[in-house]
Amino acid sequence: MIKRTNEEWKELYERQRASGLTMKDWCTANNVKMPTMADRVTRLRKLGLIEGQKPAGGRYSPRRQTTKKPEASRQDIVQLNPVEEEPQYLMDARAAITLRINGVHIDISNHADPTVIEVVLQALVKIC
C-alpha cells in the first residue's frame, strides 16, 4: 500500500480532472483503487484543498447536507371540546359478561382475574 500525502492526492485528483476520464476509468488506467481515490477526494474537499465541484467526466455529487427544519415561530391554538365520560370507577365496575343460568346471575368485569373466571365456569358446568 502506497502512503500519499494530501498534496500527492491533490495532484492525482487534478490529473484525473485534466484527463477528461471518469474517476473510475482514470483509477483503473492508473492503478489507483477507486474507493480510496473517492475517499481522499472527499477528505481534500472537507479540508478545503480542492473545490467541491464535479470532476471533468466524473459523477461526483456532494452528499446532501441535512438541515434542521426551522422550529415553528408561532403556536397554533386548537379548540378542544371536552367529552363527558363516566368516571373510571364506574367503567371498571361495569360487567363485560353477564351470565344468567337457572336463576343464577353472574357479572364478570373487564378486570376479573382469569383464574377466578375459570373456577366459576368450572363450578357452573358441574351445577348445570
Query: Both 95 and 52 in a single domain?
Result: no
Q: Are residues 7 and 46 in the same domain?
A: yes
Binned at pLDDT 50, 70 and 90, residue 5 comes out as: very high
- When divided into structural domains, the chain yields a total of 2
112 lies in some domain = yes
Tell me how far apart the alpha carbons of residues 51 and 13 are, in angstroms, rounded to a whole number: 11
Quick one: 7 and 54 in the same domain?
Answer: yes
Residue 8 lies in a domain: yes
pLDDT digits (tens, 9 = 90+) for 27-80: 999 999 999 999 999 999 999 988 865 544 445 444 555 555 555 556 667 666
Asked whether residue 18 is assigned to any structural domain, the reply reads yes
In a domain, 81, yes or no: no
Task: Give a yes or no: residue 51 inside a domain.
Answer: yes
Interval 103-119: pLDDT, tens: 776 777 777 788 877 88
pLDDT of residue 69: 58
3-class state of residue 46 by DSSP = helix
Cell of 106: 353472574
Residues 12 and 52 in one domain: yes
Q: What is the DSSP letter of 106?
A: E
Q: What is the pLDDT of residue 117?
A: 79
Hey, CA dihedral for 90, 93, 96, 99, is it positive or negative? negative
Within a domain: 3: yes
Domain span at residue 93 reads: 88-127
Global confidence as pTM: 0.42
- Are 3 and 56 contained in the same domain? yes
